Structure 1
Amino acid sequence: MPYVSLQEYFPEVAKQETRSITVFPGSGSRLPPNDYGFLEMYCDEPGCDCRRVLFYVIARSRPGVQAVIGWGWEDVDFYARWMGSGDQTEAARLKGPALNLLSPATDLAPALVDLVRNVLLQDSKYVERIKRHYQMFRENVERNRRRQRRRPRKRR
């Protein structure tokens, strides 16, 4: 399933509502001091209802993506049913938060997963924001799908 940045469809929302966390010197974090941004990516496959987000984590003073962390807000059983396999281990990985296996990751990735788990996802307002962004994104994907179906075809 292809994932697309929230910024792609909703640039103003992404600009205003993308979360960042600053780790200060002496904070006791396993992460080095830096500003870490959590860019939201959502599935844009029509008909999909995976209820997940991928966080592309960037750092102000380090080049490139530091980690790609997947998280789903439903319970593990939902993901087992969604996959159709009943595999609880894989379903737990989909629920996350967990590193996206085939995506870039730096040496900071494990500590960034902990930051997502212990800071970002402990903020209930932020979790609700993620769900709202997902819903907006999905509605846009499905609206575009309906428009494409209605386009008249050119006759030869």
Structure 2
Amino acid sequence: MPYSFFYSRFPEIAEQKTRSVTIYDPSEFNLPPADYAFLEMYCDEPGCDCRRVFFTVISSCEDDVKAVISWGWEDQVFYSKWMKNSDPDVIKEMMGPVLNMMSPQSNLAPALLRVFREVLLPDTAYTERIKRHYAMFRQTVDKKSKIKFRRKKGKIKRIK
């Protein structure tokens, strides 16, 4: 699954809505003081319906990537069916949130995953926005292949 940045298709929205967390006190999360931006990436493979996001986390103090976190918001049943695999380790990796094992991670990555779990994930308005961004992004990908998705009662459904 190839992933692309949300800002590559929606630069104005990404500029306004990209979430960042400012760390002032290094003792709280064991992170150096900085702004940490969580840049959204979504799958751009036509027909894919993985319902996942990758966050590339960067710091205002340095240029390199600090962490890549993946998160899928659906339940175990969805990912088991979607993957055609019921291995609990595989499903856990799909659901996350986890540090993406295929991406380079800095020594700050575990602390940034903790920030994601404790600060961002409990924010329902934020997680719902991520799901809306996913639907927007997928429509631009699937428009070319004539595959459509629609939101119905809080769920995203593929229309054949």
Task: Give your verdict on TM over 0.5.
Answer: yes
CA distance in 1, matches of 2:28, 2:4: 34
Q: Which position in structure 2 is the counterpart of 1:6? A: 6
Contact 2:120-2:126 at 8 Å conserved across structures: yes
Show CA shifts across 1:22-57 (max 9, x none).
Answer: 000355222111100000000010100000000000
Q: Which position in structure 2 is the counterpart of 1:149? A: none
Show CA shifts across 1:125-149 (max 9, x none).
Answer: 0000000000000111111223xxx
Change in CA separation of 1:26 and 1:104 when aligned onto 2, cut-off 3 Å? closer
Q: Which position in structure 2 is the counterpart of 1:84? A: 84
CA distance in 2, matches of 1:32, 1:77: 39
Q: Which position in structure 2 is the counterpart of 1:44? A: 44
Runs of 4+ in 1 over 3 A off after TM superposition: none
5+ residue gaps, structure 2:
147-160
Name the structure with the higher helix share.
1
CA distance in 2, matches of 1:101, 1:92: 13
Deviation at 1:63, TM superposition (A): 2.4
Contact 2:68-2:103 at 8 Å conserved across structures: yes
Q: What is the letter of the counterpart of residue 58 of structure 1?
A: I
Contact 2:26-2:32 at 8 Å conserved across structures: no
Q: What is the correspondence of 1:22-41 to structure 2 with a 5 Å cutoff? A: 22-25=22-25, 28-41=28-41
Q: What is the letter of the counterpart of residue 140 of structure 1?
A: T
Q: Which position in structure 2 is the counterpart of 1:141? A: 141
Q: Which position in structure 2 is the counterpart of 1:98? A: 98
SS at 2:102 equivalent: coil
Q: What is the correspondence of 1:44-83 to structure 2 with a 5 Å cutoff? A: 44-83=44-83
CA distance in 2, matches of 1:99, 1:76: 18
Count of aligned pairs between the two proteins: 147
SS at 2:90 equivalent: helix
- The structure with the larger Rg is 1
Q: What is the letter of the counterpart of residue 4 of structure 1?
A: S
RMSD of the alignment, in Å?
A: 1.4
Deviation at 1:78, TM superposition (A): 1.4
CA distance in 1, matches of 2:33, 2:45: 37
State the identity as a percent: 54
